[in-house]
Structures are given as C-alpha cells and as structure tokens.
A and B are shown apart, each in its own frame.
Chain A
Amino acid sequence: MDLETRLSLLNRLKQSPAEADWRQFYDKYHGAIRSFARKQGADDHAADDVLQETMMVVMRKLNGFDYDARQGRFRNWLLTIVSFKVREARRRAHVDRLLSMDAPAAEGGESWHERFASEESQADGNLEATWRQSLLEAALKVVLTDPRTRPETVAVFRACALEGRPVAEVAAQFELKENAVYQIKNRMMARVTELITSMEEGQPDLPAPAES
C-alpha cells in the first residue's frame, strides 16, 4: 500500500461531528503540549508521540466525567498526564536506543535519544514553569497568526514585546506615536493573557476529567 492509499484509508474514517469533541481539545492544546515536550528534551517525533498519547487518554476520558470548574483542577490534570507521557517517551527512547531502532547518533555527538534520556533529572524539576512557558508560546502563536490582526500591528508587537526593543525606537521605525505602540502592546498582551487563562482553566464545553 503506498502512502496515498494509506492516507485515503485515514480519510475514509471521518467521524460524525458529535464524536469529535476531542478535536476541540486538540485545536486548543496541541501547540502547548508539543512545546512542553520539546522543552523537556524531546525531538519533533517524540513530541508528536507525547501529543498522540495524551490525546488518546483524552479520548478515553471524554465520556463519563462531570465538568469541575474549580480553578487549577483541569490544568493540574492535564499537566500530570503530559508529564507522565514525557517520562514514558523518555523511557521508550532509552529502549529504542538499546534496540538500535532509530538512526545512529551524529558523528562525534550523542543522539537525541541519549540527550532525552539523560535530561530527566533537570527537566522534571520545573514542570510548572515549563508548562506556563509552553502555554505562553501557544498563545503567542495564535495571536501572531490571527488573520484579523493587521500585519503592522503584529510587527509592532513582535518588536516591542518579543524582541524587547525600546518603545521609542519601535515608534520611530513604524512612524507611530509612542502611546500608540503602548496601546498595541497592551491590547495584544491582554489577548495573550486571556488565551493562557482559557487554556489553564479548560473550557465549560469540555468534560474535564475528575482524576487521571
């Protein structure tokens, strides 16, 4: 079976909208979960594994849970699952290395398997901060690629917030008043903060799980 045939097999299995609750979850969190795994030392492939396995847990949990909106509960549940899946991926990387199933290390250097497997002690220490940074990056991606936002606005925000350039310098470059730059920055920051808060709290239409 060639790749095209395999892909058409996937497409044939489209499900009804009612069964696609997991997709909301995927759309909202895939960026943060991938980013978190990457920050824990996973390469793109292992980060995809972490996302895939987290999504499988979510699919199984979608039925039979009552939503609990207590702040932090959903966030802690998700962080617990993702952290566990990263640890599993790390253990599997170790096995893969033993089996020599993947490409050998680059000449003169250790493979990502070795780096990933050896990063456990330092990575686990700061999960909260890493997760927060992952949510921030996911929120920034949404804001920076929002088609409703003018490219000039994105450029101004990128310059003053992400590149840390002085407001006066950014204002001069874009021929704006400094106050206008502050307004853009504050408006975009409010949107980023709102998105992060939304991701930390879950959402009312998701059946947030009681226990992992």
Chain B
Amino acid sequence: MTTPPSGPIPPTESELASAGQTMIRPVRGADLLAARLEAAAALLGPLERQPVEASLVFAREVDAGVEAVPIGVGITVGRGSDCTICLPETAGLSRRHFAVRPEFGGWLLEDLASRNGTTVNALDEPVTRRMLRDGDLIFSGDAMFLFVNPG
C-alpha cells in the first residue's frame, strides 16, 4: 500500500455527494457489539499469557480466575467428566453441551443436542452449527466462553 501524500486533503465535491447518498444508515447492534468487546477485553485482561492458538477463554465461577483452553484437534464442553472442559456445577449446562473443532479452514461450533441450547454473541437464536469468528462469545447454561483465534 502506498503512503498518502502529506497534509490534509479535503474531500472533493463528488466524494461528498457520494457520501451523502450512502452514509445515512442505522447501525444495527452497535451497543451490543461494544458490550461484547468489553467482555472480551475483560476476559483477556487477567490472562498472564495471551493465547497463541485458537482457544476458549472462560471463568469456572464468578470472580474465579480466567483460563484459556486450546482447541487443538477439537474440544467438548459440558458437565460430564469426559468433556475437555468439564463444569459439573454450572446450571443449565448439559452433560455434553457443545463442541468446537477445526473444519472448513476455520473453527466450527456444534451444539450437541443440549437441553438449553447454545447461543453466540447474546443473540436470541440458538445455533446448531456455526463457523466461529475471533471474539465470538458462546453462551451455554450459565457459562460464557470467549473464542479467540490469534491466527
């Protein structure tokens, strides 16, 4: 990419006219996104070492320390002891609640037919499968997980 010329360059008449046509749009969910980013920053902040590979970041309990678990070849989350992330005390969490694994060049979240469903980014609609985005927040039962993908 080229370095811009020095000094402020005022917009041209045609740029202004074009902006006047396209700029007035309501922004959907702007406040919610900011709140999600705030939560992501709060979860990442206490970590002594930032994740260097795709991971789920979460706190086992309110006011407990934050952990980052690498996803690797895939992980499962639930109350069951056979899950990679086992949270036996978490209300609303199924024995095997959801899984994340590498798929299609990204990271696929799959709800494992959980009783209360899995939602992403506080949106109302539960998901069955979703390609995760860096910074997605996953809600299952009373637990919340931050998906990070330093890529």
Spell out A's residues near B (CB within 8 Å). 1, 3, 5-7, 9-15, 19-20, 22-23, 26, 30-31, 34-35, 38-39, 44-45, 48-49, 51-53, 55-57, 59-60, 71-73, 75-76, 79-80, 91-92, 95-96, 98-99, 101, 127-128, 132-133, 136-137, 140-141, 158, 161-164, 189-190, 192-194, 196-197, 200
Contacts and interface: CB of A to CB of B under 8 A. Distances in A.
Contact of A60 (B8, B30, B50): B50
Contacts of B48: none
Contact of A76 (B3, B9, B19, B134): B3
Interface in B2-31: 2-4, 6, 8-11, 13, 15-20, 22-23, 25, 27-30
Contacts, number: 165
A7 B115 CA distance: 21
B113 interface: no
Given A35-B23, A52-B36, A22 B150 contact: no
A141 B24 CA distance: 8
Contact of A197 (B8, B18, B41, B122): B8
Q: Chain B interface residue count: which class?
A: 35 or more
Contacts of A30: 30, 33-34
A211 to B, nearest CB: 13
Contacts of A79: 1
24 contacts: A1-B116, A10-B36, A11-B35, A12-B62, A15-B42, A19-B41, A22-B41, A26-B37, A35-B23, A53-B133, A59-B41, A60-B44, A71-B3, A80-B1, A95-B131, A98-B104, A133-B18, A137-B22, A140-B19, A162-B19, A163-B17, A163-B20, A164-B16, A193-B11
Contacts of A92: 106, 131, 133
A193 B122 contact: no
B2 A128 contact: yes
Contacts of B18: 133
A11 to B, nearest CB: 7
Given A10-B39, A80-B1, A96 B131 contact: yes
Nearest to A2: B124
A132 B34 CA distance: 24
Contact of B135 (A56, A133, A193): A56
Which of B2, B33, B119, B141 counts the most chain A CB atoms within 10 A? B33
A26 B27 CA distance: 14
A7 B34 CA distance: 12
B4 A200 contact: yes
Contact of A192 (B2, B11, B62): B11
B67 to A, nearest CB: 15
A70 B126 CA distance: 47
